[in-house]
Amino acid sequence: MEKLTRWPYLYRHKNGTLYYLRRVPTDVGKLIRERQFRRSLKVRDERTSDAKSSYDATHRQIETFIADIRNGNGTERARIAYDRASALARRRGFTYRPMTDLVENATVDELIERLAAVEKKVVDRSDTEVDAIMGAVTEPVFTLSGALDRFIALSRNDLRGKNESQQRRWRNPLELAVRNFIDVVDDKGLADITRNNALAFRDWWVNDRIGKDVKTSNAANKELMHLRKIFRTVSDAHRLNLENPFSGLNITGDEKVRRLPISREHLETVMLREAALARLNSEARGIILAMADTGARINEVAGLEPNDILLDHTTPHIVIRANSLRSLKTRHSHRVIPLVGVALKTLLDNSKGFPRYAGKNASASSTINKFLRDNSLLPDGCTLYGLRHSFQDRLIEVEAPERIQADLMGHKTLRPKYGKGPSLEQMHEWLLKTALTPQN
């Protein structure tokens, strides 16, 4: 191209069209992986007002883009432009490939095919179409923090149906894992994160955390899992073809902490006695009693809506399903549970559910566990979740069939499910054998 002197970055193509051509600053180039900005001004005479207007608008756009990249705000803009170019290339029958990749690796036949597609657009082509086919759109480079934002955006289906509290609890451990990695290593681009960086993060957990402010490797392995998933998801979504530095990286040596069941004897003689729970607010008390004889999770009980509690049915029961208050842990969690014992009694008193804790199971869990610990109502090593394990153990003790157990617990069975499964009446008969009778 011919360099013109009227304004900086002004060039004339051999076909006469004016272009804005500018070398990408080194610090910006590390993030967008391009060497120059190249924009057609769509005019031929630099002396016209249209040329001046087009040049000024393009210059402002490039300056803003550079500032955004330097301020950490440009990744999303680059991603949108890149996604649009990729989609347009696909519509024209091509896989989007950056220009540098085409120059270095494309076959002669592929180059000819792409150039022929561009040639057909010479008369009325748009720069966006030519750029898409010839790979001239800058590819976004995600830092780990940017990859987290992109991962969250890509996880829309996983978040559908979750209330605000559930979304926050889903997002918090991801943000913590990324924040810890950045503190230990740096907020590096995905392509720049090496296996040694990942090992350094694991070593930080082993040397500085485990056995000090955390007891086991469980938290570390969860963070490594989150980082592995973020890296893989974003790399796959954007065809980055990056080797995952967190792949297979775990800390071994600790036995997995097992949640302990609470024995029937302890439930009936200590924990569920009316006097023991008298100073706890009525709705929190009701959640404990409902969990005890249904085996339901705390979010499943706290998230019951009035339509989920069927007390006037021949066999009173609750329906555990996704609703406006919460989603379900798995698809197998959708189930019906007949009401017996203390669960039936408490839901007769709370037929509208537990509005104080509706969609706030974290608050319910914190309140209940604190009360139980402060009043020495939990056996050593147990938490509120032990009620669910206790429910499972009582089903085993009465020799309930495996299908009955799975359907009541909301678990996947070892065998394929055929037919309608056990009826409410059948499940009710088994639950009557497990029902608790707390002492006064």
> What is the structure's pLDDT at 328?
82
Residue 33 has pLDDT above 80, yes or no: no
> What is the structure's pLDDT at 137?
72
Greatest mean pLDDT among 141-145, 260-264, 267-271 lies in 267-271
Its pTM stands at 0.55
> What is the structure's pLDDT at 124?
46
> What is the structure's pLDDT at 167?
84
DSSP of 203-221, one letter per residue? Answer: HHIIIIIBTTTBSSSHHHH
Q: Are 203 and 224 in contact (CB under 8 A)?
A: no
pLDDT tens for 156-214 read: 877 877 777 788 888 999 999 999 999 999 888 888 899 999 999 999 998 888 888 88
> What is the structure's pLDDT at 125?
47
pLDDT tens for 131-149 read: 777 777 766 667 888 888 8
Percent pLDDT > 90 in the chain is 46
Alpha-carbon distance of 412 to 331, in angstroms, equals 9
User: How many residues in total does the chain contain?
Assistant: 440
Q: Tell me the residue type at 343.
A: A
Alpha-carbon distance of 127 to 15, in angstroms, equals 15
The mean-pLDDT minimum among 96-105, 135-144, 231-240, 327-336 falls in 135-144
pLDDT band for position 308 (cuts 50, 70, 90): very high
Alpha-carbon distance of 294 to 339, in angstroms, equals 7
Q: Are 142 and 234 in contact (CB under 8 A)?
A: yes
Identify the H or E element spanning 37: strand 36-40
Please provide the average confidence, as pLDDT, over all residues in the chain.
Answer: 86
Q: Are 139 and 98 in contact (CB under 8 A)?
A: yes
Alpha-carbon distance of 22 to 404, in angstroms, equals 70
Alpha-carbon distance of 248 to 232, in angstroms, equals 12
pLDDT tens for 418-436 read: 667 789 999 999 999 999 9
Alpha-carbon distance of 97 to 104, in angstroms, equals 11
> What is the structure's pLDDT at 417?
60
Give the gyration radius of the chain's Cα atoms: 31
> What is the structure's pLDDT at 175?
93
Distances (CA, A) of 249 to 58, 188, 189, 206: 47, 19, 19, 13
Q: Are 32 and 69 in contact (CB under 8 A)?
A: yes
Distances (CA, A) of 227 to 51, 149, 179, 186, 316: 49, 13, 11, 14, 45
Encoded tokens for 204 = 């930080």
Identify the H or E element spanning 364: helix 361-374
> What is the structure's pLDDT at 123?
46
> What is the structure's pLDDT at 266?
95
